């Protein structure tokens, strides 16, 4: 759609758009993405913003972030509304992005494998106090060498026996899978 459009720097997604398709804005010059107030967006598909190096912040009303949506992007922060309906952050969704911090909304039930892998600028992760999170996938935070804070209502387990970087994190009800 707009793949590789280096001159595209800003876009407002209209309220009736329900999906952003595969590679829709990948490797474009996007710096900002805004969504209509009453957005119907449900899914951002695979690699939609992959390689958008100038994209620094996104305010997302989405229900599902598919794999590698923001991989290799310049996204430093993502904001979810307090009434977010996001349920899943899929495999590699933010892999190798410039993400510095993220607030995981209470609606999220699963952070899939490698979701934040190699986000070397990631310093803080905040999981909502009323979180419904049930799963943190294998190596979700592997390679996040600057990760300093994970605030969570759960007792999280860091397994350094498998991952020397100490970023293999799990919820105690399930053994670490990294």
What is the pTM for the complete model shown? 0.84
Residue 66, domain extent: 1-178
Query: Which one, of 84, 74, 85, 143, lies nearest residue 113 by Cα?
Result: 143
Domain count, the chain: 1
Residues 33 and 37: their CA atoms lie apart, in Å, by 13
- Distance separating alpha carbons of residues 33 and 59, to the nearest angstrom: 8
Q: How far is CA 151 from CA 8, 89, 123, 125, in A?
A: 36, 18, 11, 6
How confident is the model over 118-175, as pLDDT tens digits?
999 999 999 988 999 988 888 898 899 898 888 888 766 554 444 555 455 655 544 4
> Residues 31-89: pLDDT tens digits?
999 888 888 888 999 999 999 999 887 777 788 889 999 999 999 988 887 788 899 99
Sheet strands side by side (includes 64-65): 19-20, 43-44, 64-65, 88-89, 110-111, 135-136
User: Phi, psi (5° rounding) for residue 82?
Assistant: -65, -25
Residue 157, domain CATH: 3.80.10.10
């Amino acid at each position: 759609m707009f793949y590789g459009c280096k001159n595209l720097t800003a876009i407002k997604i209209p309220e009736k758009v329900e999906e952003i398709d595969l590679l829709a804005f990948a490797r474009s010059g996007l710096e900002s993405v805004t969504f209509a107030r009453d957005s119907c967006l449900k899914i951002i598909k695979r690699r939609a913003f992959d390689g958008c190096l100038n994209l620094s912040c996104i305010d997302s009303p989405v229900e599902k972030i598919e794999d590698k949506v923001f991989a290799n992007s310049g996204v430093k922060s993502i904001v979810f509304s307090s009434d977010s309906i996001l349920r899943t952050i899929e495999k590699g969704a933010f892999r190798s992005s410039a993400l510095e911090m993220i607030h995981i909304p209470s609606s999220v039930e699963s952070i899939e494998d490698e979701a934040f892998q190699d986000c070397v600028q990631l310093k803080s992760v905040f999981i909502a106090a009323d979180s419904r999170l049930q799963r943190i996938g294998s190596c979700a935070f592997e390679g996040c060498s600057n990760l300093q804070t994970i605030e969570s209502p759960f007792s999280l387990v860091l397994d350094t026996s498998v991952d020397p970087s100490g970023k293999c994190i799990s919820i105690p009800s399930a053994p670490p899978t990294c």
